[in-house]
Amino acid sequence: ARVDKAGHKHFMAKEIAEQPVVIGDTLSHYLTDDGRDVVLPGDGIDFTSIDRLTMVACGTAYYACLTAKYWFEQLARMPVEVDIASEFRYREPPISARTAALFVSQSGETADTLAALRYCEPHAQTILSVVNVPESSIARESNLALPIHAGAEIGVASTKAFTCQLTVLLLLALKAAKDRGTITDDRLADILSSLRGLPALINNVLEQDTTFRKCARLLAETDNVLFLGRGLMYPLALEGALKLKEISYIHAEAYASGELKHGPIALIDKKMPVVVMAPRDALFDKTVSNMQEVMARGGKILLVTDGPGAKEANEGVWRSLTMPEVDPILSPILYALPAQLLAYHTAVAKGTDVDQPRNLAKSVTVE
Ligand code: G6P
């Protein structure tokens, strides 16, 4: 079927706006009718016979894997290795028999990711994939393919595929936690209930579009942007920096907040905005002290936080964006929205080709 922009200026804008609906679709495919349990397609997978998870991907899908590592470790107490496909395929990593290898790919055709899958195939106990195209090579060569149900994604910079990948990966981590007996029924019920409420929270963020546009106009004036995050917000900071550089051509880098003083703090001056992604979670105070280190050196902070976080930490910040409150475990999915909206509006303000950024391809099928 032909996909059009449905009244939006760019496919990227349409795909950002679709997220409440497509995430709702993803959830409906992976939850029982009463919404209280996770169901996987086909025969599913039993995590009781699996000791390790190896996740491999490229680009945005790689950042989805980095996020999922925190989920599998925290919820399912499972050791996880994550690598970029182009590195993984050539470093001859040993794969033990009780390993599940998981490949995340929007297109399902990325050459390096497919090669990494073929490397694991003779060794791993099972090959899993999280894909948007169910008939793709990566899906076909997996023992179990988990479709993300995001619908066609046209914009080169991935948006809805990322949040749907995260949704499926979180559901898979919950299934693993259940199989391995590492989650209580109450906690599982809590997380599933928060997930069901997520589309409404995303709508709430989308309604603040004008605020993001105003902030982005300021970002469009700068040459460099630094993104900081801790814990689950660290991979998201990486994704935020990737989105911004891909479509606005502004140099952007991301660091784990705690790494600030090991190098990047040398770059801080009043010309470089520092985007801090920090819901009021268990690590919030640590991130606030990193923020203060930036401000003490004349750096400009753009703080993306929630109501309680803004109340505590807004003093002295350059700009602040307030997100709805959400169970911290889901924060990467919700905070993907500000990362996308800031990049999108910055690119629009700069007049770049948002859907077809220079030098980039939607699907990289050559090495
Ligand atoms: C290209 C695209 C990225 C994407 C990456 C991985 O670089 O421009 O947006 O994240 O490939 O693609 P995949 O289809 O494997 O997710």
Residue 3: its pLDDT value, please? 83
CA–centroid distance, residue 345 to ligand 1 (Å): 21
Q: Is a pLDDT exceeding 90 seen at residue 367?
A: no
Residue positions annotated with a catalytic role: 362
pTM, 2 dp: 0.97
Residue 158 pLDDT greater than 80, yes or no: yes
Give per-residue pLDDT as tens, 179-188: 999 999 999 9
Look at ligand 1, atom 2, and give the residue with the nearest C-alpha.
Answer: 362
Of 362, 365, 366, 367, the residue with max ligand 1 atoms within 8 A of its CB, to mutate for a pocket test, comes to 362
Give the closest residue (by CA) to ligand 1 atom 8.
362
Evaluate if residue 67 carries a pLDDT over 70: yes
Over residues 117-146, the mean pLDDT reads 98
What ipTM, to 2 d.p.?
0.97
pLDDT exceeds cutoff 70 at 1: no
Ligand 1 contact via 105 beta carbon (within 6 Å)? yes
Which among 364, 366, 367 is the best mutation to test ligand 1's pocket, defined by most ligand atoms within 8 Å of the CB?
Answer: 364
Average pLDDT, the chain: 96
Cα 152 to ligand 1 centre (Å): 14
3-state secondary structure the chain: CCCCCCCCCCHHHHHHHCHHHHHHHHHHHHECCCCCCECCCCCCCCHHHCCEEEEEECHHHHHHHHHHHHHHHHHHCCCEEEEEHHHHCCCCCCCCCCEEEEEEECCCCCHHHHHHHHHHCCCCCEEEEEECCCCCHHHHCCCEEEECCCCCCCCCCCCHHHHHHHHHHHHHHHHHHHHCCCCCHHHHHHHHHHHHHHHHHHHHHHCCHHHHHHHHHHHCCCCEEEEEECCCHHHHHHHHHHHHHHHHCCEEEEEEHHHHHHCHHHHCCCCCEEEEECCCCCCHHHHHHHHHHHHHCCCEEEEEEEHHHHHHHCCCCCEEEEECCCCHHHHHHHHHHHHHHHHHHHHHHHCCCCCCCCCCCCCCCCC
